[in-house]
Amino acid sequence: MIIPCIIATYQTTNPGASSNTQVRIPAGNSDAGYYIYWEEVGNPSNNGSLTGNGTQTITFPIAGLYRVGVKAGSGTFSKIQYSNSPNKDKDKIITIEQWGTTVWDNFDVGYYGCTNMCCLPHDVPDLSESNSLYGMFWQCASMLDDSVDN
């Protein structure tokens, strides 16, 4: 998956509000018409794409570990807010592999409570339009460097 977007991995069988073959992408309420591409980790021929609007649920053919890429495409995509909310599948996200070229407008409590997220990418997010990073990684207990927890 080589596209200029945020790429993350999700374990669908981790606890969450969606079923064990689904994940929810908690984009901003005003984000609409954004592009989502997914593939099963270890089996990239099992893949698909869809258009997202606000918090979008992705349904996969089988339970497992999936790599998901999201970008604005022909729509808008500028915010992620897990906000420690159990109805946003915060325990299913495992890694962020790439920030991509998304211009983020706000990361307030973006990944707050994503307790299973263990590592961050080596590229740098575009925060030129962000007005707040408050609590971005708060209570991300599995992070390798706990300095980002505050």
Instruction: State the pLDDT at residue 2.
Output: 58
pLDDT at 1 over 80: no
pLDDT at 106 over 50: yes
Q: Which two tokens stand for residue 139?
A: 């209570």
How much is the average pLDDT of 87-112? 92
Instruction: State the pLDDT at residue 73.
Output: 87
Q: Which two tokens stand for residue 1?
A: 């998956």
How much is the average pLDDT of 135-143? 85
pLDDT level of residue 148 (50, 70, 90 thresholds) = very low
Which comes out higher in pLDDT, residue 138 or 61?
A: 61
Q: Helix (H, G, I), strand (E, B), or coil: what is residue 19?
A: coil
| Separation CA 71–CA 59 (nearest Å) | 18
Tell me if 115 sits within 8 A of 90, measured CB to CB. yes
- Nearest alpha-carbon partner for 125 in 141, 115, 138, 110: 110
pTM of the model: 0.90
